[in-house]
Amino acid sequence: MVDFRAHQDKTEDVMEFHVAVIPGDGIGPEIVAEARKVLDKAGEKFGCQFTYRELLMGGASIDAYGVPLTEETLAAAKASDSVLLGAVGGDVGNSRWYDVAPNLRPEAGLLAIRKGLELFANIRPAYLYQELNKACPLKEEIIGDGFDMVIVRELTGGLYFGKRYTEEVDGVKRAVDTLVYDENEIRRIAVKAFDIAMKRKKNVISVDKANVLDSSRLWRSVVEEVAKGYPEVTLSHMLVDNCAMQLVMNPGQFDVILTENMFGDILSDEASMITGSIGMLSSASLGAGKLGLYEPSHGSAPDIAGKDLANPIATILSAAMMLRYSFDLDDAADAIEAAVRKVISEGYRTVDIMSEGCTRVGTKEMGDLIAARV
């Protein structure tokens, strides 16, 4: 006999989360499909359910609506519990998406959704998988015992959001971008970085250009003030040019890197490259509340789109970050991360991380393998 009561109780227990899914452009749709596969498996295993609402952004939105992000899309994202994003953008040299004003290009959609959802903190972990050591472009003596850092990048202020214009003065063209930070913007991102450091090795290196920029001098003083509330955390400051060098000279020294928008953009690409596997690195963009936007650190790679070549792991790990930061499902997040490590240690590789003696798999098979191990 079927026990309806038990069944009913079970369905009542199931937590439901509404995920806005933005596949985006290029490889975006393929990698997001694999992340959904893994999420569904984690849901099954840990008694929760994810419902998805697909939204258009970037080039896909330009094709459909003429703009990279519509008000409706932003409102739908706001109304969700969290947002999972693939990647946006196309081939700058060849795509008609770039024949328009900068504020109508695919990337403008990304900047606008971050701002619209007030996601001021971009969390980008960069660590070296022991098994992928060979992909690391650094010398063995520099790699040492490996490295494990997280870049906390301010995401809605600074140069990317300041006033900008191009004008002609006495027949000479000139372009102006402005870099503005107020103390509140600096304080809230610093607090995020120190909170994260408390759960790690309790070391924050704040990166700026205080030898030149006023905004960096304010940054430094506010970060020092925030540090007083975290006596267990060691804080030091590093100039951004030096940091770029230290990342390839002694990456093991970093735990949490706290920095402003543009420096964080540049340094996080560098940090991901030294792991040798940008296809493995996740990211989270967070605000004051629980809603976040989760996306791989890599781009849309239009050259390999639709060929089952893309590595879905960064997106799958971003989905794990979503479970951890937005839904407080730490067990499910741990299970996904463990499944990824297992697949790697079993020797399965997409082409970007392929090495001798390993088994090459495509995007879909990688997703299947990970889902099966959750």
DSSP characters over 303-319? GGTTTT-S--HHHHHHH
| R_g (Cα) of the chain, nearest Å | 21
For residue 266, the minimal CB distance to ligand IPM (Å) is: 9
Q: Which is nearer to Mg ion, 263 or 325 (CB)?
A: 263
Active site amino acids: 160, 209, 241, 265, 269
**Interface with ligand IPM by CB under 6 A: which residues?**
107, 110-111, 265
Q: Which is nearer to Mg ion, 86 or 367 (CB)?
A: 86
- The one of Mg ion, ligand IPM, none whose footprint includes residue 189, by CB under 5 to 8 A per kind, is none
Q: Which is nearer to ligand IPM, 278 or 344 (CB)?
A: 278
For residue 316, the minimal CB distance to Mg ion (Å) is: 20
For residue 107, the minimal CB distance to ligand IPM (Å) is: 4
For residue 127, the minimal CB distance to ligand IPM (Å) is: 18
Options 168-176, 179-187, 265-273, 312-320: segment touching Mg ion (CB under 5 A): 265-273
- The one of Mg ion, ligand IPM, none whose footprint includes residue 110, by CB under 5 to 8 A per kind, is ligand IPM
For residue 148, the minimal CB distance to ligand IPM (Å) is: 20
Calpha distance 222→206 (Å, rounded): 11
Token pair of 131 as six digits: 């098994």
Options 34-42, 108-116, 262-270, 338-346: segment touching Mg ion (CB under 5 A): 262-270
58, 29 Cβ separation under 8 angstroms: no
For residue 265, the minimal CB distance to Mg ion (Å) is: 4
Q: Which is nearer to ligand IPM, 25 or 107 (CB)?
A: 107
Options 124-132, 257-265, 287-295, 322-330: segment touching Mg ion (CB under 5 A): 257-265
Q: What are the respective helix, strand and coil percentages of the chain, to the nearest 5?
A: 50, 20, 30
Q: Which residue is nearest to ligand IPM (CB)?
A: 107
- Choose among 122, 195, 193: nearest CA to 160: 122
Q: Which is nearer to ligand IPM, 25 or 255 (CB)?
A: 25
**CB atoms inside a 10 Å sphere around CB 235:** 21
Q: Phi/psi at 238 (nearest 5 deg)?
A: -140, 140
Token pair of 251 as six digits: 């990456």
Q: Which helix or strand (DSSP H or E) is residue 71 part of? A: helix 71-79
Residue 154 binds Mg ion, judged by CB under 5 A:
no
- The one of Mg ion, ligand IPM, none whose footprint includes residue 352, by CB under 5 to 8 A per kind, is none
Identified binder of Mg ion from the candidate list 34, 107, 185, 265, rule CB under 5 A: 265
Q: Which is nearer to ligand IPM, 11 or 94 (CB)?
A: 94
Calpha distance 185→371 (Å, rounded): 39
- The one of Mg ion, ligand IPM, none whose footprint includes residue 107, by CB under 5 to 8 A per kind, is ligand IPM
Residues 6+ apart with CB under 8 A from 17: 48, 49, 50, 51, 81, 82, 327
Scanning 207-239, the segments in alpha helix (DSSP H) are 214-227
Q: Which helix or strand (DSSP H or E) is residue 257 part of? A: strand 256-259
DSSP characters over 131-173? GGGGG--S-HHHHTT--EEEEEEE-SSGGGTS-EEEEEETTEE
- Choose among 67, 27, 35: nearest CA to 52: 35
Interacting residues with Mg ion (CB under 5 A): 265
